[in-house]
Amino acid sequence: QRPHIHSSQDAFHLLASFFMDKNVEVFYVAYLNVANRLLKVEPISLGGLTSTVVDSRVVFRKAFDIPGVTQLVLAHNHPSGNLKPSDADCKLTERIKQGGLLLEFKLLDHLIIAGHHYFSFADQGLL
C-alpha cells in the first residue's frame, strides 16, 4: 500500500527523513497519483548553506517519466532553521504551480522543512 497524503502534516512526516542531518539546502519532489498516493520521491537539487537552484523543467520531466503522476508536493529545507519563505521560494512555487496548470499537474503543497518543524504554502493560503 502506497502512503496517502491527506494534509501538509502527512507530507511532512513522509518527507522529513530526507532532510535530517543535511547542513546544505536540498530540494525534493513527491510525485503522487490522482488518489494522492505516493508514487515516488525524487531529489531535484543539492545546494549550499543558503540556497539551491531548482530547474522547473527537471521537476516536470521527472513527472512525465513516472507513470500515473498527476500531483506534486515540493519540499526543501532551510538549514538555518528559519521557516520563512524567501522571495525565491515564493517565485519558484508560483512558477511550478503555473507550469503545472499548463501541463495538467496539480501542485498540492510546497513545504519548507527546518528540523522538526515545517512551513506549508498550502496551509498559509499561498497556492
Cβ contact 38:30 at 8 Å: yes
> DSSP letters of the chain?
---B--SHHHHHHHHGGGTTT--S-EEEEEEE-TTSBEEEEEEEEE--SS-----HHHHHHHHHHSTT--EEEEEEE-TT---SPPHHHHHHHHHHHHHHHHHT-EEEEEEEEETTEEEETTTTT--
Per-residue pLDDT of the chain (127 residues; tens, 9 = 90+): 899 999 999 999 999 999 998 999 999 999 999 999 999 999 999 998 888 999 999 999 999 999 999 999 999 999 999 999 999 999 999 999 999 999 999 999 999 999 999 999 999 999 9
Cβ contact 29:48 at 8 Å: no
